[in-house]
Amino acid sequence: MALVRVQNFAVSLDGFGTGEGQSADAHFGHAGDRLHEWMFTTRWWQPGGSGGVDDAFVRQHDVGIGAEIMGAGKFGHPGWHEDPDWRGAWGPNPPFHTPVFVLTHHRREPIEMAGGTTFHFLDASPAEAVDVAREAAGGKDIRVGGGATTIREFLSAGLVDHLHVVVVPILLGRGVRLWDGLEGVERDFQVESTSSPSGVTHVTFTRTTA
């Protein structure tokens, strides 16, 4: 059975998945790149980078994935839907290489990008989105790509089978929280924590109940 997975979702030690003040120039608001610097030192990112635990995890992003679901806030800064030419924040060849379902009340025609990524725009509940994405994934897993609010909603609805969160040892103080309203969710999962020499801690939730 194909799984619904979250991979490489970074939060600050105080639990923020993005900072405040998101815009076209600041996809993560005042957090800047700080939630993702752990990726930049891996050999996945650059030759000569580390092949350690950060590298092992970061590469799971694509493995076995047939479709992504993302929130409107990941696809673009607030107001992107008023720009008919907005095609996401990743340039002409986005790093998804599968169908991507953008959850939004502002539907538009699909956008086919280079490298196998097609953005579809879906006004649907989390459960409905999983059904649509499963159909498109051809038997492979579905990645829930974020942002924090979207992951929280999918966790809350019991739809996530595997969650990989990267806790970055900074205190953002403000932004969008990942963990709010999820009391007791860990009971359905085996939880493991692995600290990296880079300073981040990888926390995985692996579902143990059907």
Residues in contact with a second copy by CB under 8 A are 13-15, 167, 169-174, 179-186, 191-195, 199-201, 203
Residue number, 117 or 196, with CB nearest to a second copy: 196
CB 34 to a second copy: min, Å? 10
CB 46 to a second copy: min, Å? 23
Task: Provide the pairing of β-strand 201-207 with 189-195.
Answer: antiparallel
Residue number, 81 or 174, with CB nearest to a second copy: 174
Closest C-alpha to 102, from 150, 58, 157:
150
Closest C-alpha to 28, from 12, 6, 45, 14:
12
Residue number, 79 or 199, with CB nearest to a second copy: 199
CB 144 to a second copy: min, Å? 17
Q: What angle do CA 70, 76, 81 make, to 5 degrees?
A: 105
CB 176 within 8 A of CB 149: yes
Angle between helices 148-156 and 126-137 (to 10 degrees): 100
- How would you class 82 by CB atoms within 10 Å of its CB: exposed for 0-12, middle for 13-18, buried for 19 or more? exposed
CB 192 to a second copy: min, Å? 7
Residue number, 176 or 203, with CB nearest to a second copy: 203
Closest C-alpha to 113, from 139, 128, 126, 95:
95
Lookup: tokens for 108: 């538009």
Residue number, 93 or 195, with CB nearest to a second copy: 195
